[in-house]
Structure 1
Amino acid sequence: MSFTVEERGNPNTLSYRLFFKNVEGNYISPFHDIPMCADEAQNIFNMVVEVPRWTNAKMEIATKDLLNPIKQDVKKGKLRYVANIFPHKGYIWNYGAIPQTWEDPAHKDDDTSCCGDNDPIDVCEIGSRVCSRGEVIKVKVLGVLAMIDEGETDWKVIAINVDDPEASEFNSISDVRRLKPGYLEATVDWFRRYKVPDGKPENCFAFNGEFKDKDFAINVIKNTHTFWKNLISQKSKAGELNCKNTSVSEGNSPFCCSADEAKAAVGETCPCGKGDPIPSTVDKWFYK
C-alpha cells in the first residue's frame, strides 16, 4: 500500500498544508485512513513522518482539521520551531505518528496515572536515513518511553525503518543501547528539556525515565488502537477532533467523507506557492 502527498499553501507560513492521497489518487486522512499495521502478523507498523531528523519546524497531523493534513504547530499566532538545545540540532530522530491510534484524554493509564494527550501515538525512528516529511514508512518497534507532558501521558515509541540497512540488527531496546550508545540517554535528555527555552518546566517521565521493552510497547500501541476504534465508532467523545474519513466509517456515519467532499475541501486551500525563509533565530543554540 503506497501513499503520496500534495503540498498546498506557502511553505514556512500559516497557510502551508500537506495532504495525503491513496494509490487511486483520492484524498485521505493520515490519522484515520492509513492502516495502523503494515504487517500485523509480524508486528510491523505504519509510521507517518511528520518531522525529518535534524529539522526544527514542529510539524504535526492536524487532528482538528478536515482530512487531518500535516501543518506546522502555532503558538501565539506564530509558527512553532523547537529549539536547538546543546548538543542537539532540531529533532534527533525522524519523528512522527502511528495512524489509527489515539491517546484517549478520558482514560487514566494504570502505569502512568495520567490521561492521554488526545493525539495519535508518537514515534521516534532511529534509522540511518533522513526521511521526508509526509513519508509513510514501515517500522519495527523496539521499545517505548513514557513521557509525562504537563500532566498528560505522551508515549514515545522507539522504532526503526524495516528498510534500514541495519534493521536486522535491531530487535530490542537493548540493541539500541548496545549499537547506538548514548542515543537513548540523548532521547530522554531531549524530551526533558525541549520546552525549557519556551519558559516551561522540564518534562518528567514514568518508570524513572527507563525505556520499556518491545512487548510492552506493542501492547501500548494496540491499546491506543482500541481507543481509536472507540473514537471512530462514536463510543468515545471526539470533542474538537475531526474524525472525517474516506474508508473506515459507513456511509450513514457523520464521519464518512466522500471523495468529492474531500476534493472540494482541498480545493478551497491555496495552491502551493513560494515559501518564506525560515527565521534566522531557529539556528540559535540554547545551553544549560
Structure 2
Amino acid sequence: MDWAKKADFDMIFKRYNVIIEGPAIKPEDDPDVKKVLPKDEPFKSLAMAVIFGDAEKAVQAAKSALDSGTPPLDVIEKGLSKGMDAVSALYAKAAYFLPDIMLSADAMTAAMALAEQKLGRAREKKGTVVSFVAEGDPHDIGKNLVVMFLKANGFEAVDLGRDVPDKEVIEAVKKYKPVMLTGTALMTTTMTAFPRVAKALQEQGVSVPVFGCGGGAVKRDFVESYDMGVYGVKAFHAPKLAEAALAGKSWKDIRKEYPKIVGEFVSEYADRM
C-alpha cells in the first residue's frame, strides 16, 4: 500500500490548538495597545516601529518627522515613548517576551538618538534611579528589564550591574541621590543583601524615598520586614513607582497604594486593592 497517497499531511507540524485559537491578533489591535497608540502621524508610525522592534524603520520615521518640522521632544514623547508604553502593555499580558522588549528598546534608543541630536542635547530626565543585583547573585535579567523600562520612560538609570557589594550600592546612593533604589535577587541566599543595605543607609543617615526590591526569590512579606523596602512585582512597574516617589509619596505610601499606583490588579497586593 502506498501510505504517502493515503496519509493526510495537512495537520503535520501543526500544533493541536492552532485552529482553535484562530489567527493571531495584531499588536495594534490589542485593546490595551489601542489606549496608548497615537492616532495621528507621524507619531503612529514612530510608535509602531518601536512596537515591532524595527530599529531601521524607527530611525527612518524619526528622520522623516524631524525633516518635516516635528519638534524633537514630540518625536520622543508623543511617538517613541507611546510605542514603549504599548510594549509594556503587551509584556504585562505575556504577549511579548524578553527578546521583544530588547528589540523594542533598541529601536527606541536608535530613533531617540537622532531626535536628541536634532535637539542639541539629551532629553531632560525625570529623575535618577540606581539599580543593582544583590551581592553574590549573577542573575541580571530582571535588573536589565527594570533598567530598560526606566530609560524608556525618561529616567536616568544608573546600572551598577550584578553581584554588587553592599558598600558600592551605598556609595552610589550617596553620589547620585536617586529618587529610587532598585535591587533584584534570584536566590534566597543573596536577597539578604536588601535589609543589610537598608539598615546601612539608615545608620549612615542616607535617605532614599523608596527601595524597590524584587526577583525570583523575593516575596512581599520579606521586603516589608525592613524600612524603605517596597516589593516590586513586575519590572514594568518600576517607572510608575519612581514617578510616585517623584510626586512626593514615601515608601510607606507606596506600600499602601501599590495597585493604585501601577494602575492594575496585583494579586500580591490583593489585600490593598
Q: TM class, shorter-chain normalised?
A: under 0.3
Structure with more helix by fraction: 2
Structure with more strand by fraction: 1
Taking structure 1 as the reference length, what is the TM-score of the superposition?
0.25
> Which structure's CA Rg is the greater one?
2
Higher relative contact order (CA 8 A, sep 6+): 1
Taking structure 2 as the reference length, what is the TM-score of the superposition?
0.25
